[in-house]
Amino acid sequence: MINKEQIRNKLYDEFIQPTNQKKDFIGVEIEIPIINLDKKAVDFDLVHEITHKFQNQYSDFKTEGIDYDGNVFALKNPKTDDIVCYDCSYNNIEFAMGREEELFAINDRFCDYYSFVKESFEEHNHTLTGMGINPYRKYNENIPIPSERYLMLYHHLKSFKNYKDIPMHFHRFPEYGMFSSASQVQLDIYRDDLVKTINVFSKIEPIKALLFSNSVLFGQNDNITCFRDALWEYSTHGVNPHNIGMYDVDFKDLNDLQSYLESLNIYCVMRDGAYINFPSMNLLEYFSRDYVRGEIYCNGEYRDIEIKPCISDIKYLRPFKFINLTFRGTVEFRSICTQPIRDSMSVAAFHLGLKGKLDELDDIITKDTAIYHKGYTAGELRKLLIQDEIPKIFNKKELCALSKEIVDLAKDGLKERGIGEEVFLNPLYDRIKKHTNPGKIIIDSIKNNVKIEKLIDDYGRLSII
């Protein structure tokens, strides 16, 4: 049996130890829905054709992933570490940009790749757009990429019916990964700053909801500007609420943070190159067992299998927090929806600018009365502020003033870098001025009989800085 000290030490080695090096890089991942403008399912044959076309155009990209049908689903440039791939399904393309020291290099390469792919799709009446939920999801064939990881993930999400005696309800969209898209940022955070980074950034999640929400579930719950939150929370990823969403606690030190890591659930491991799913269970419970019964995919079907837990299985621990520690020694910020494409770098700019302003940001939040000191936690506040109509307990002018103060602080942080990256924050000032965000604009536009096709086109357009 594996004891708690072994687990704690392994968690430290995997999540905390990599942050001992002082680095200062930025990583950006942008998931983008693919849309068939004929209002039919995305043509997967076309997707594969454009993948090959991209590889021919950008010859430095090498095949990184091939599905069970022999189709390429991931390409990687070993010189830049840029990855162009499909996320969960062939309805969703992802541009995972290799780490850089500044945003302009990332933006230049992203715009280049995006323009090529979008123009290639538009030759066949398909397109790309910057929305956090695919507005044409009902037309699509929402099936996972036939690969180890994505079949495992979908099998886990479909297993919600097997959880009978837990105090939560599940939505009925286990395929949500195939129609929802995020904009994620990874920053190198030094170990001594980890706890404060998580504590302080957690408290501005409600403001991030006000600024960045862009996930409207058309036809259902379309009064919510960021429905992605619910898709994660009320899925099998949320069986243990510590695995998703907010922390809603203040960590005292690294020991506190490690204790939180011990509270997480695990639901899959690998053996001999194959994933094994099992019911989501606490990490300590998993390692207390002599054997765990799960399912393995083999020759087109699942069969039962028993495995013996081993300490290296911690590398398969997959929490999906709004703020995640990674095995690479980075902190990943993952609560923000894909943005209108022209605003894509605003997400990274916001986090990067605030990274070195933790004390000032903490001071702003401590003194705030626009959202805090009203009896609500940060998690509760975020749920209130992703509604189309902001509850009356909040003063909109005060909300905008708080948002501007935080964006101003991010701007100061970027200015101190002396590169000019603060230009990427401009869209946020426009949103603050108009008391809106991309999700609210979608909701208001639909109410005013604006066709969704117009929004698809608008949100898919690039602007070159």
Mean pLDDT across the chain, nearest whole number? 96
Length of the chain: 465
Structural contact between residues 181 and 132, judged by C-beta atoms closer than 8 angstroms:
yes
Q: What is the pLDDT of residues 343-399, one digit of tens each?
A: 999 999 999 999 999 999 999 999 999 999 999 999 999 999 999 999 999 999 999
Query: pLDDT tens digit string along 52-74?
Result: 999 999 999 999 999 999 999 99
| Residue 106 in this model has a pLDDT that exceeds 70 | yes
3-state secondary structure of 327: coil
Instruction: Give the pLDDT score at 237.
Output: 97
Q: Does residue 384 belong to any structural domain of this protein?
A: yes
User: Is 18 inside any structural domain?
Assistant: yes
pLDDT value at position 33? 98
Rounded to an integer, what distance in angstroms lies between the CA atom of residue 382 and that of residue 329? 27
Which residue type is seen at 27? G
SS3 content of the chain, % helix, strand, coil (to 5): 45, 20, 35
List the structure tokens of 180.
């929802």
Domain holding 163, by residue range, is 4-454
Whether the Cβ atoms of residue 240 and residue 262 lie closer than 8 Å to each other: no
Digit-coded pLDDT (tens) for 135-162: 999 999 999 999 999 999 999 999 999 9
pLDDT digits (tens, 9 = 90+) for 162-181: 999 888 999 999 999 999 99
Partner residues linked to 337 by β-bridges: 182
Spatial separation of the C-alpha atoms in residues 223 and 421, rounded to whole Å = 34
- What is the CATH number for 420? 3.30.590.20
Does any domain span residue 375? Answer: yes
Nearest to 297 by CA among 194, 151, 114: 151
Asked if residue 460 belongs to a domain, the reply is no
Determine the straight-line distance between the first and last CA of the chain, rounded to whole angstroms.
Answer: 57
- Would the pLDDT of 200 be above 60? yes
HSE-CB of 304 using CA atoms within 13 angstroms: 4
Band of residue 36 on the pLDDT scale cut at 50, 70, 90: very high
Domains contained in the chain, number? 1
pLDDT of residue 400: 97
For 187, the token pair is 């920053």
pLDDT digits (tens, 9 = 90+) for 218-227: 888 889 999 9
DSSP state of 17: G
Residues 265 and 244 sit within 8 Å (Cβ to Cβ): no
Helix 345-355 and helix 103-122, axial crossing angle in degrees, nearest 10: 160
DSSP-derived pairing of the beta strands 72-76 and 62-66:
antiparallel
| 303 occurs within a structural domain | yes
**Per the domain annotation, does 167 fall within a domain?**
yes
- pLDDT for 465 equals 54
- Residue 465: inside a domain: no
d(CA 18, CA 13): 7
Strand 323-325 to 126-128 pairing: unpaired
For strand 301-307 and strand 292-298, is the pairing parallel, antiparallel, or unpaired? antiparallel
Q: CA 86: distance to chain centroid? A: 14
Asked if residue 393 belongs to a domain, the reply is: yes
For the segment 330-348, the average pLDDT, to the nearest whole number, is: 98
pLDDT at 332: 98
What pLDDT sits at residue 222? 84
Instruction: Assess whether pLDDT exceeds 90 at residue 203.
Output: yes
What Rg do the C-alpha atoms of the chain give, in angstroms? 22
Query: What's the CA gap between 150 and 65, in Å, rounded?
Result: 12
Torsions phi, psi for 187 (to 5 deg)? -125, 140
161 CB burial (10 A radius; 0-12, 13-18, 19+) = exposed
User: Residue 464: what pLDDT?
Assistant: 57
Find out whether 154 and 179 touch, Cβ atoms under 8 Å.
Answer: no
At residue 174, what is the residue type? P
Compute how many other C-beta atoms are within 10 angstroms of the C-beta atom of residue 79: 9
Residue-wise pLDDT for 181-195, tens only, equals 999 999 999 999 999
The rounded distance, in Å, linking the Cα atoms of 378 and 367 is 15
DSSP letter assigned to residue 339: P
